[in-house]
Structure 1
Amino acid sequence: LAIFARTEEAAKARFGIEGDGRGAIVTRTGRRFFEDRALEEAALSRLDRALAEAGIWDELATDWIVLDAELLPWSAKAQALLRDQYAPVGAAALASTAYAEAVAGQAAARGVHLEGMDLRMHHRHEDAERFVAAYRQYCWPVEGIDGLRFAPFHILASEGKVHSDRNHLWHMEIAERMAAVEPFVKATPYREVHLSDEGSVQDAVEWWETLTAGGGEGMVVKPLDFLHQGAKGLVQPGIKCRGAEYLRIIYGPEYLRPENLVRLRKRGVGRKRSLAMKEFALGMESLERFVAREPLRRVHECVFAVLALESEPVDPRL
């Protein structure tokens, strides 16, 4: 999230911030994304310029904004995760399966009946190679602000308005306007799909298959409206549809084996979905209260409720 004002004076007037810059870029859990404050200010300056040159500050009649986005590459913030989790798993898997495959091959050459063990070791080594290739797709060297890209997909709020009444096409068009005038901003490719049109659905499926086959993470499926009420209440605002290779990072090198898929399919996601819906509703309510200039304690009621829900134990891989 990028939460910032055009000037430090505006930040003081609206956020109550004094002597601490004009805003911040934070992670999903509210932690500051940049440890280097100069780098953060450089990012905010580029976003400010994009909003100004695209005419969005004036169009929204605001001097502050909240943007929901992704900062790329994610390796810029996940070096410890790559170093301490993914890389060791990949290295160990490659080394152990290569050795096991070689030993099994030697045994088979001597005429030892292995009941397919040599072939299994070969497949496990291939899975390890795919795992390493999967996480390396999302890593590249970052040199200062020029190595980063900011991909917005929601304009959450600005002065006097929470933009949940706008459909997703409006939000994506705003992002495209920003990207057209500022290289730091990256427009996200998207498709509008008509579910009653089989051709439209098939086009989306083929687009996703091409995207993920080329190393893409996947896509997020959303209703056209930011908030959509169905027969059973509020529709889940988004569902990630990740590619098969990307999911190796989440579930492990061998998750696609039939016996592992059976185990994965047995896991229930209802609890996590329920918690996510509650957190989403609380987040939107907190924005509504802030925009309406309600007392800060009223905003914090929603924030503390989200923190309480976040403390509930759920499988983080779901």
Structure 2
Amino acid sequence: MTLPTVHVYVLGGTITMAGGAGTGIAPKLSGEDLMAQVPGLRDVANVVVKTPFLKPGASLTFAELSNVAAMIQDDPAQGHVVVQGTDTIDETAFFLGLLHNAQAPVVVTGAMRGASALSADGPANLLAAIHTAGHPEAANRGALVVLNDEIHQALYVEKMHKGLVQAFQSINGGAVGYYLEGRPRFLHPAPQHRAALFSNRVAPERVAVVKAVLDGDDALLRATLDLGYHGVVVEAMGAGHLPAQYLDALDALLERVPVVLASRVPAGPVFQNTYGFPGSEIDLIRRGVIPAGWLSPHKARILLAAGLGAGQSMQEIRDTFARFA
């Protein structure tokens, strides 16, 4: 049997971390060190591993991820795996998916427990991710996230717990597959066609996220006007609602930059046609905000930042977000 070739890019994260007593863990293991910990790897794929750098997931940058996306685009492999810290996997997988236009999937994985921890989950996650990346049914699915024997679409997956191995969930629709009995099993066929929304050399612009809170004021919203941001995502309440005291600042913002309406509530899309009071989603959309659809606030920020970095017009940004409604 001819095994698929899978290229693995190790960027760091908990999966690479070890440490001494009382000092805390930090990134230490290279890609080769990680592969040596995975029994049965040679039976599922021919693995080519690269370690561009080792750092915590919280410190990754758009520039670094764009470089990884460009490396992936140039690699003639059946599948690609990105190994990184779980702090930002839901964001980075979404960003990589926006830049990826090949049939070969990009599978992002990591670990919730350090490499030296009892029952470390890294080796099992690596095996599942590499096997999934090389599987024919994973082709044309864009970016996926594989942890804890679950396969998630990057668009929907979110980190929902700080420490448990089942931290990642797709609360809008569930996992798209599972790693069971030593192989990936998908629940639905892959789409026939998909295309990247942006070039892998896009340089995202600065976008702020401002969260609405009970009895809050508009000071942070107004401050974004003077801090050099090119766009704003408002993390609204409920189905997409803002306190009335935010509205004057919002109107001032809308005269200068695009503003996207997301919600702090994880499940469900932002509404567009239900509530009609001042600060409701109907009122906000009439004022000019762009509904984020099914996107979480942090993913809406990535999409807006990429659209601005690609030089999209206001109408093009609206059309891009409409894809996620």
Check whether TM > 0.5. no
TM-score for the superposition, normalised by structure 2? 0.23
- Structure with greater contact order relative to length (CA < 8 Å, sep ≥ 6): 1
From the two aligned structures, give the one with the greater strand fraction. 2
**Structure of greater Rg:** 1
